[in-house]
Structure formats: structure tokens, C-alpha cells
Amino acid sequence: MDKLLTNKYGVKGAVQRADAKLTLALRKTVSNPLLHYLIFGVIMCVIGYIAKQNTGVIPYSWESGLARTFAYSIASVGFCLLMGYSGLASLGTGGFIGIGTYAMYYIMGVLDLPFALAVVVAIAIAALVGIIVGFISLRIEGIYLVILTLGLSEILRQIYVAVEDNISISRFRVFIETITTRSVTIYYVMVALIIVMIVTTNLINSPTGRAMLAMKNSTSAAQAMGISLIKYRLLAFVLCTVYAALSGVMYMVTTRSVMASDANGTYALITSLNILAAVIIGGYKSVWGAVFGTFIMYGLQTTLLQQVNFLADNPIIITFFSGILVIVVVMFFPGGVAQLLVELKGLIKKLIKKIREGRYGKDLG
Amino acid sequence: MEKTSVKTSPRVQKKLIQARQSINWIKAELESLPELYEGKKQAKLARFKNKLNKQLSSAAFKACDKGEYYDGVIDSKLMRYDVKKYMAHRALNHGTAKRIFGTVKLGQSYDEILSEQYAKYQQLNAARAEYKGKLTEKKAAFVEKHGAADATEYNALIAKKQAEYDEYEAKLTAAYGAAMSEKAEKLSQKLKGYESLTEQLSAKTAGGLKLEEDVLLSVRDLKMYFGGLKAVDGLSFDVKKGEIFGLIGPNGAGKTTVFNCITRFYDATGGDMYFENKYGEVVDMRSFKVHDVILQGISRTFQNVELIKEISVVDNLLVACTREYKTGIIGQALGLPSLKKEEKLLRAKAMKILKFMGIESYAAWYAMGLPYGILKKVEIARALMCDAKLIIMDEPAAGLNDSETADLTRTIRRIRDEFGVTILLVEHDMSLVMNVCDTVCAISFGRMLAIGTTDEIKKNKAVQEAYLGVDEDEEAQPQEEAEGNE
């Protein structure tokens, strides 16, 4: 009898244990970051859908604004992996985004081939460029990668200008849907962004992420632990360029046209700098931080702040604001918004503890 | 020693390493099989038990004493009051000047507040007693309503259920036993395949090198020049299997350079280093890249702790196993189940090693902010993660206090005894070196001064001169003086 029934009242304990188990399973599911990404994606898609209905609940322009922001976010996430985890920096994001847009333009606009091929070609070219540039520059430590990518980005932009300055595709098919100005393109962007976020999170929590961190902390310790520096640096850099190219593809899906010669345009240095700033503001070690930082750099302007007439007339103020934000973050919160949130959480916990102690005295137990 | 260089293609070497890693993984999996199946069985049994208990619940209620049952209910209902009472008591005990309930009024004295608090406490007590009384009144009605304990139904049922349970358990045991043996059979077949492959490949790679008996690492005529500076100049020594070998010398003698040459951080200018790797083959260390040294069975710790601050201690240990994962980068990006399986096995191993070092309670802590002594231990634990045959320690006692150094001495001995590894260490702390080392090699300006047991080194004149300078007082005690010198 004692084997079967362990508790006094039979059923009560068993039910409680089952409840506890269920709660644990539920908690595990709720705290799964992949689920958070999915929920985030669905919410953004719903916002985009409502905006495109043009009923006035959410302004019409929000859909394209958000879609563009999250297309840039893909590049930011890659940059976060590069800077936060392997300790490298690149200023070639703008140029690499161009790889995606031009692959899209030539495969779909000129050759009229399917969308999936455009994505594959963009990724393949970006990976190739990443490997070549990486092999040349990653053997040297420090600032050389930044200089090299900066130059490369400008070279790429000049190539784009020479090849075809103003690219645009008016109607094209993405899988089953024909994209026109009325289509809700944020769906595609969100799918790409969520895939990128999930892959990046998996990598960060895997041996690869740890190897990158080891390499960033101390190259000699990493080497002694069997970590090949060139392999992981190259991996981070290639992922960064691939993400940037994917971001370019998604950018093209939502905007349908880009001008290469625009000095403040998508391929220019300003994009690379903005994405750098976004990752710094958001927190260079957090995937959420990268996405949020990009929203501050790009999304705020196209959505919320656009509603304020004064700011809409003087967009330069927003640029000032983001510059000041970068300075403040670097000075006071080197971990960015992500760190701020963690610190806030700790502060609230401390406050609650203090209030309890004030009321009831220190814990005796 | 015969010097014959046989070039093997890197592809064969890579294949060999992969085959050996597969063997390791299969062995680990075989080891973990009983635990795995036992866990599965227990989980199923627990679920079944819950099910049976639910079926029994009404009979169990009838069988139990109703008064006793209701007492339990009362206890749980009074819990609310008990928590409040505890809080009030706590406040009273500490004599805090603030009231439990409400805010402090202006002009209220400390005594007043306390007495008010006490009144509140009494009130709470009274309320609790009142509520308890109410519930107790209800108890009689409850007992009357449900009648006295009647265990006949329960007794009849329980025997049946117990039999059901036993039957189920036996069935599960048989089923899982069969599944386990089948799996074990499959794995051991796989293992045999890999073992024969390894034999074939290692026959190809065997370089025909041989070391003297009992020698693990042989350094011959090692030279390392930085431009005109001869940091190491023609140094030769042998490290025997299972010994603790100390390398000492004054500052700038080239100790760390020797280490860096062995672990391939520096490409030696001249000389040879032969090492019997963890598969029993003698290899020329100079044919490896720095990040491949760990695969041969040499791991090292650093003078300044080189851990990753932003991940946990156990994750830090896993960094040493980066090369052992069979799941590729794409598999890792997709989060495949095979990666989770490997992680689980390695985590169990890491926990075992942390337990050995006596720091398993820090496993989930971030390396940031842990005391230096603990971090040093974590670093040694990390060096133990990759089944190394030779562990190279660069000043393990640097920055430790006396008791920590004594602890380290014991730890180093225990590591040598239980893991069967050989330890090569550079150290300035002479008490550690003289206590722990079997053989000591003293060098100065890249040249060998003396090699021998600790006693021989203590008495050696050349060593004394190197540490103290040429001195007229020949009776000087080298050990103590050397300590003062550091």
C-alpha cells in the first residue's frame, strides 16, 4: 500500500504534483524566446494589415515604415552578432545591402525568375564577398576591417551607380502573391526577420556563440581551447554580410525602388552608421536590442514622430536626438537599452525588498 | 631518438580525429544509457501512479478519519493568518519604528508605535482564534455529514490497484530493458566499426617515432630567438608520465616562452618537441597549429585568469569542448536535437568535474564577480574538460593567499592521482613548487641550470647563484631566500 499512496489524503498530493508539473511546462513554454519572436511577428503583421486597410485606426504609412524598419533590423541583428559576440566591426553594411537589392532587381525585374532564386543568389553572392573580404582582412586585428569594409562599401556603391543608378520593379510575384503598391509586404519582412532572429539566438546559445565570446574575451585562451580564430571570425563576418544582403532583398520587396547615387540613400555610409548606432543604442549583445535600436533609428521617424507636425517639418531634430542618444548610451549604459531593462528589473526587485523590510523588518529566516 | 618524418595528409588526420571523437561520443552515450532508460521508466510510472491515485480518491476519502481530514483543511485555511502573524511578529521583534499597517503619524512616539503594533498583533491573534473557532464548529457538522471512516471499499480497491501497478512496473522494466539492450547492441556495433576505421587510419599516420619508456613529453634542444634576443637557447628536458614537473627560474629566464613553444603559440626557431598524445601515438608537436594542440591532449591554464565573464561557470567549461561537438554550425543554427543530446552529456561531465574541484555550487553563476580563487579553480576545471594527458599551468598560485595556495597544492596532487594526468607548471611561489613537484627544472636566460628532485635543486649551487647572485655566504638557505626574492 505504501508504494502506491504516498500522501495522507490520497488524491490531493497527486493532483498538486500534476499541477506543479503543468505549471513548469507552461513556464518553460512561456519563457521560450522563440515564442516571443513569433508573437512579436504576429503583432507587427496585424498592425501592418490594419494600416493597409486604410480605415484610419492606424495611419496608412505605418505599414511601409515598419516594413522598412524591420528590413533594416535584419542587417542589425547580423551586426549585433559581429560586434557583440566576435568583437569585430564593419562599416560596409550599406554596400552589402546593395547586393541584395541588385540580386533582386536582376533576377526578378530583368530576368523574370522566381523570388526564391533571388534570395538564394543574394545570399550566395554575399557569402562569397564575405569570405573573400574576410580572408584578406580578418588576419589582421583591430581597425583594419572597419577601414576595408568602409572602402569596399563605397566601391560597391560606385559600381551600382555605374551599372544601373535607379532600379525599380513595379509588379512582381513573391511565391504566390503578386506584389503591387496595395500589398501588405510586412508579412515577408517579418518572416525573414523572425527566421534570422531564431537562427541568431540558436547560434548565440550554441557552442559557436560561446566560441565567439571566448575569442572576443581573449584570443590566446580561445586558441588554447581549440578555437580557430579565422574560422569563427569569418563565420561572424559572412553571417553579417548574408544578413545584410537578405535585408536588401526585403528592402526591395517593400520599397520596390532604390537610387544608388543618393548620397544619403540606402547604400551610403549613413546606413552603415545608422545601423551601428542602432546596435549601440539597443545593446550590442542582444537580438531584441538590435531590433529595438533599429526601430529608434528608423521606425520612430516614419511612424510615431511623423504624426507630430513640428517634427515632420523639421526632421533634422530627430537626427540630433538620435546622436545625443548614442552619446548618452555610450556614456551611461554601455550595454544599451537591453542593459537598461535588466538594471531596471533589478532595481524594482530591490525596491520591493526595501519596502517589505521597511514594513516588516529584516527577514529572520 | 630516431628522427623519421612521415608526412600524412591533413585529410587523413582530420578523418582520424573525427573517428576518434565519434568513438568518444558513442562511449559516453553507452554509459548514459541505463540512467536514460531508468528516467523514462520512472516518469511513466509516476504518471501511472497519479492515474491510479485519482481513481482511488473517493474511496480514500471514505476510508480516512473525517476529523483528521478536516483538521488538515483548517490548517490550510489558517495559512493566510499565519503569514500575517509572522510578518507582525517580525516587525515587533526588530522594533521597527514604522507601523505594520498604515503610515506613521506626526508626533507619534516610538513607544506609542510599538504599543500600537503590539495591539495589531493581538488583534490578529484574536481574529485567527475566532476564525479557527468558526471552522472548528463546522467540523462536527462535516464529520456528521460524511460519517465515520469506512475502509472496506478502500482496502478492497487498494490491493487490486497495487497489483495493477506492480504488473505495469514489471511490464515497463521488461520493455525498457529490451529497448536498452537493443540500443546498446546497435551502439557497440557502431563503435566496432569506428574502432577498425581508427586502426586503419592510425596505421597510415603512424610516424614511427618512439620515446623512451615512461616519457610523455620530450623537449630537445629547443631554441626561440626574438631577433637578437635568445629567450630560449638549447633547452632539453623530459617529462615523465604521471609526474608533476616544475619549471623555475628568475624573471625573464624564458619559462613562459618554453610553455608557449610547447603549446605552439610561438613557432620555435629550432629544436624538437615530441609528445605521446592521448591515443598513445608519438607526435611531433611542431607539425600542429596552435588550435589543434588541444586535440592531442595538451591543455593549459593562464597566468591571468582568462575566462569569459558574461556566461556561467559551467558554460565556461563547455568552451573547452568546442572541438568535440559533432553537430555542425548549420545544425547548431537550427537547434537540432543531436546538439541538445551532446550538450546534456557534456554538461553532466562538466558538473562532475566541478564537483571534483568542490565548486559545483557556483555552476550557474556568472564568471563575472566571482572571487579570484574560485576563478582559478574554474580555469583548472576547464583544462580538465578535454581529457588532457598533459596539463600546463602557468603560475597557478599567482594572486592566491597562503591558505588558497595550500589548497591548490592538494588539488594539483588530487588531479594527478584521480585523472592520471601529467602536470607541467611554471611557478614563482617556491613553497608550492617544493611541496608539489616531483621533478624540478631550473633555467636561467634560456639555458638549463639544473634538473632533479626538489632536494637536489635546493642544494644546487648554480641555482642558488642564479637566484641570489654570486654571494660569499655559501650557507644561504636557497628556499627561503628565493621566496624573499620573489
Tens-digit pLDDT profile for residues A169-209:
888 888 888 888 888 899 999 999 999 999 999 999 999 99
Q: pLDDT value at position A272? A: 93
B406, part of any domain: yes
pLDDT tens digit sequence for B310-365: 899 999 999 999 998 988 899 999 999 999 989 999 999 999 999 999 998 999 99
Q: Say if residue B277's pLDDT is above 80.
A: yes
Q: Say if residue A365's pLDDT is above 70.
A: no
- Among chain A residues, the shortest Cα distance to B340 is held by A206
Residues B346, B237, single domain; the answer is yes
Q: Provide the 10 A C-beta neighbour count for residue B11.
A: 8
Residues B367, B270, single domain; the answer is yes
A318, part of any domain: no
Quickly list H helices, B263-401.
293-296, 313-319, 329-334, 337-357, 372-384
Q: pLDDT value at position B95? A: 55
Q: Choose from A197-206, B53-62, B284-293 the range with maximum mean pLDDT.
A: A197-206
Question: Domains in chain B: how many in total?
Answer: 3
Strand B282-284 vs strand A257-259: parallel, antiparallel, or unpaired?
unpaired
A15, part of any domain: no
Residues A283, A168, single domain; the answer is yes
Hey, what's the cell of B386? Answer: 578535454
- Residues B314 and B59: their CA atoms lie apart, in Å, by 49
Task: Give the closest-approach CA distance of A195 to chain B in angstroms.
Answer: 10
Q: What is the mean pLDDT of residues B379-402?
A: 91
CB pair distance less than 8 Å for B158 and A1: yes
Task: Give the closest-approach CA distance of A211 to chain B in angstroms.
Answer: 6
Q: pLDDT value at position B83? A: 80
Find where cell 516571443 sits: A36
Question: Domains in chain A: how many in total?
Answer: 2
Amino acid at A292: F
Q: Which long-range contacts (CB under 8 A, 24 or more apart) does A109-113 make?
A: A109/A167, A109/A168, A109/A169, A109/A172
CATH number at residue A90: 1.10.3470
Q: What is the mean pLDDT of residues B40-66?
A: 83
CB pair distance less than 8 Å for A225 and B382: yes
Owning domain of residue A300: 32-306
- Among chain B residues, the shortest Cα distance to A224 is held by B291
Among A22, A77, A206, the strongest candidate for a mutation testing the B interface, having the largest count of B CBs within 10 A, is A206
A211 in B contact zone (CB under 8 Å): yes
A50 in B contact zone (CB under 8 Å): no
Q: pLDDT value at position B466? A: 79
Q: pLDDT value at position A59? A: 87
Q: pLDDT value at position A55? A: 87
Interface of B with A in 342-381 (CB under 8 A): none
pLDDT tens digit sequence for B26-40: 998 898 899 889 999
Residues B186, B250, single domain; the answer is no
Owning domain of residue B117: 65-148
Q: Give rounded-to-5 percent helix, strand, coil for chain B.
A: 60, 15, 25
Q: What is the mean pLDDT of residues A324-352?
A: 89
Classify burial at B287, counting beta carbons within 10 Å of its beta carbon; exposed 0-12, middle 13-18, buried 19 or more. Answer: middle
B333 in A contact zone (CB under 8 Å): yes
Residues B240, B298, single domain; the answer is yes
Residues B302, B348, single domain; the answer is yes
CB pair distance less than 8 Å for A210 and B158: no
Residues B229, B185, single domain; the answer is no
- Residues A229 and A141: their CA atoms lie apart, in Å, by 11
- Please say whether the dihedral angle defined by the alpha carbons of residues B49, B50, B51 and B57, taken in this order, is positive or negative: positive
pLDDT tens digit sequence for B65-90: 787 788 878 887 888 788 888 777 77
Residues A164, A66, single domain; the answer is yes
Q: What angle do CA A171, A174, A180 make, to 5 degrees?
A: 30
Among B139, B171, B205, the domain-final residue is: B205
Confidence grade of residue A317 (pLDDT, cut at 50, 70, 90): confident
Confidence grade of residue A153 (pLDDT, cut at 50, 70, 90): very high
Residues A301, A333, single domain; the answer is no
User: Angle, nearest 10°, between helix axes A287-294 and A336-360?
Assistant: 110
Q: Choose from A34-43, A335-344, A346-355, B158-167 the range with maximum mean pLDDT.
A: A34-43
Residues B224, B346, single domain; the answer is yes
Q: Mean pLDDT lowest for which of A276-285, B385-394, B475-484?
A: B475-484
Residues A264, A360, single domain; the answer is no
Alpha carbon dihedral B254, B260, B263, B264, in 10-degree steps, equals -120
Q: pLDDT value at position B105? A: 55
Residues B370, B474, single domain; the answer is yes
B5, part of any domain: no
Residues B324, B398, single domain; the answer is yes
Choice between A36 and B475, residue whose per-residue pLDDT is larger: A36
B59, part of any domain: no
